[in-house]
Amino acid sequence: MALPTIDRPIFQIVLPSTGEKINATAFTVREEKILLIAQESNDATQEIVAVKQIVNNCLVDKDVGDLAMFDLEYVLLVLRARSVNNEINFSIKDPETEEDVELALDIENVTITKDANHTNEVKVNEDFILYLKYPTIDQYIKIVAMEDKDPLINYQLMVSCLDKIASEDEVHKFVNYTDVEINAFVENFSGSTVKGIQDFFETMPKLRHEMHYTNSKGDKKTFVVEGLRSFFI
């Protein structure tokens, strides 16, 4: 006789970017093992691939590849809180004293920060507006896999987030064009267009939380937790 299949309860998570409600289930031992192995690897690419696998295993009716990176980070936080507990204990090295400091992070206090001036629209000229999309985990994996000093990292990230360019009369979706055509188009961007794209990335919503502690010298310090660092610190 086969062992019984244990049903996992389904709960809803509200995506920060759109307010969409998606269905998910909690971690199993399998997901916890994947997370543990990734934590021990100290390899950024392996960590991100593990995150993709874990979230994909827990989503019921949503493709992990459709999530903006900060949405995925938030979903992982909620899954961790619902599956294990809210608290993550870890240690950091104080930059002033070089002593280890024990910290406890309540992941329910980690929120998505949003800049009031953030927009995904960049004015190209009087006729056309460029529309940008948030990077997904697949795009992020490709960027992380590149060498840190590769001068094309920022360029590849920018190109991967081009959605469409539109005027009152026409719309051009970048997915319908080849890499050669897109590269030729991007090379003609003005400085103001590039600046608008940079502002999009700099003001993009992010998972962020400040933790305060006092070191052995009595000095007040702040440690910032951002994004996936919540799981791999």
pLDDT one-digit tens code per residue, 48-63: 888 889 999 999 988 8
pLDDT, residue 59, reads: 92
| Structural domain count of the chain | 2
Let me know whether 102 and 26 are in one domain: yes
Residue 5 included in any domain: no
Let me know whether 24 and 108 are in one domain: yes
Domain holding 101, by residue range, is: 10-113+206-232
Let me know whether 14 and 99 are in one domain: yes
Let me know whether 130 and 44 are in one domain: no
Structure token digits, residue 110: 């980690």
Q: Report which of residues 76 and 128 the model is more confident about.
A: 128
pLDDT, residue 193, reads: 93
Place of tokens 């930059």: 95
Q: Report which of residues 117 and 48 the model is more confident about.
A: 117
Residue 1 included in any domain: no
Rounded to 10 degrees, the C-alpha dihedral 43/233/66/46 comes to 10
Residue 65 included in any domain: yes
Let me know whether 14 and 98 are in one domain: yes
Let me know whether 131 and 100 are in one domain: no
